[in-house]
Amino acid sequence: MRLAMISRLIPDRFVLLLFAAVLLGWLLPVTEQGLAIAQNVSFIVIFGLFFLHGLRLPRQEVVKAARSWKVQAAMLAFSFVAMPLAGLALAKGIGWMLPPALATGLVYCAMLPSTVQSAISYSSMGGGNVAASVVGAALSNLSAIAVTPTLVALVLGAVSGVTIGSETIVRIATMLLLPFALGQLAQGWLGGWAHRQKAILSFFDRLVILIAVYVAFAGAVNSGSLSALDLGTMAALCALLGLLLAFAFAGAWFFGGLLGLDRTDRISLVFAGAQKSIATGAPMAAILFGSSAGLIVLPAIIYHMAQLLLSAPLAARFALSSPSTCDGEVADGA
């Protein structure tokens, strides 16, 4: 009975692993000399992660994502325009309650792309357009390789120190674009192998994220920046992220209505538009923010955990209120 209750509260064991990585980096950080080695290891596995993204994303889906436009345009607009504006408004309006790095992290979280697996899964559970979710999530993550760093530089450059100079462009191209392109090119040779090794490669994906989170928090401990965290600060951060989540889910639903999307497409927009990917966020933060990544990635970690907790009951509500289960009545709210 207790295990069933925990399973309902925490639907993904990866949430617990993220907690463990944060605590490990906080309580058992590597030494300052060892941190440099750990960061180099992190960069190597991040390169491998984006290579595998390129290897496993079928070219036909990339082409299809580039050609289809209506629902995908809505997902991109909500993910990379509406959500960053909402995050920026929160940071400017009441972000004074947070240390600067956490306020920066709040906006950075809002600039991240959609999740892939959970957005598709919850869209399916809720009766959404699964095909649109697959294409939209793929296009969101593909676009984020260039869009998210550009947004960070344009919006957060003054406070985060990230600028789109030659060094940043080379770093992004080397660590994100190059391995993805190599993965796409290698599909003819390694695509079948990647499909057969899906379970092992999925484990590697999660391991890379956990390494990036651990290294980020170990770096924050060594720099002393985690001393800014206390119960009041964490409560304020969770409250602001709660507001961002409320805007994300409700805003995506009503945005879809304004665009005249049908119900299944609106459900897909909710999950693909409102969810944010820690799989992209943690590795990218390590590249963009360096030693400051620890506190900056914390809002994205908490947001990721909260979105999983909220998506399951929301998908169940969508499913229960679908026309097939309500004698033809279509719910008009989420």
pLDDT in tens, 11-69: 557 777 877 888 888 787 777 677 777 777 877 887 887 788 778 767 666 565 555 57
Is the separation of the CB atoms in 181 and 54 below 8 Å?
A: yes
Give the amino acid at 185: L
How far apart are alpha carbons 106 and 176 in whole angstroms? 22
In whole angstroms, give the CA distance from residue 73 to residue 66: 10
**Taking 60 as the threshold, does the pLDDT of residue 1 lie above it?**
no
Average pLDDT estimate for 134-139: 79
End-to-end CA distance of the chain, in Å?
29
Comparison of pLDDT for 314 and 223, the residue scoring more: 314
User: What is the tens place of the pLDDT at every residue in 215-232?
Assistant: 877 777 776 666 667 888
Report pLDDT for 329: 40
Q: At what angle do helices 198-223 and 13-27 cross, to 10 degrees?
A: 30
* The pLDDT value given to residue 252: 95
With contact defined as beta carbons under 8 Å apart, do 129 and 318 qualify? no
For residue 62, the model assigns a pLDDT of 58
Question: Of 55-69, 80-94, 193-207, 248-262, which range is least confident?
Answer: 55-69
DSSP code per residue over 68-116: --HHHHHHHHIIIIIHHHHHHHHHHHHGGGS-HHHHHHHHHHHTS---S
Q: Do 302 and 237 form a contact (C-beta atoms < 8 A)?
A: yes
Check whether 299 has a pLDDT greater than 50.
yes
Give residue limits of the domains in the chain. 35-314
Burial class (CB in 10 A: 0-12, 13-18, 19+), 203: exposed
CA atoms within 13 A on the CB side of 28: 4
What is the rounded distance in angstroms from the CA atom of residue 197 to the CA atom of residue 194? 5
Question: Rounded to whole angstroms, how far apart are CA atoms 297 and 84?
Answer: 15
> In percent, how much of the chain has pLDDT > 70?
81
Q: Counting every residue, how long is the chain?
A: 334
pLDDT digits (tens, 9 = 90+) for 82-132: 999 999 999 988 878 888 889 999 999 999 998 877 787 788 888 888 777
Q: Specify the pTM.
A: 0.77
Instruction: Read off φ and ψ for residue 76, nearest 5 degrees.
Output: -65, -45
pLDDT for residue 327: 46
Other residues' Cβ atoms within 10 Å of the Cβ of residue 32: 11
Going by CATH, does the domain composed of 35-314 fall within 1.20.1530.20? yes
Average model confidence (pLDDT) for the chain?
A: 80
Residues 186/53, Cβ–Cβ less than 8 Å: no
User: Would you say residue 202 has pLDDT above 80?
Assistant: no
* pLDDT score of 157 more than 80: no
Q: Supply the pLDDT for residue 169.
A: 65
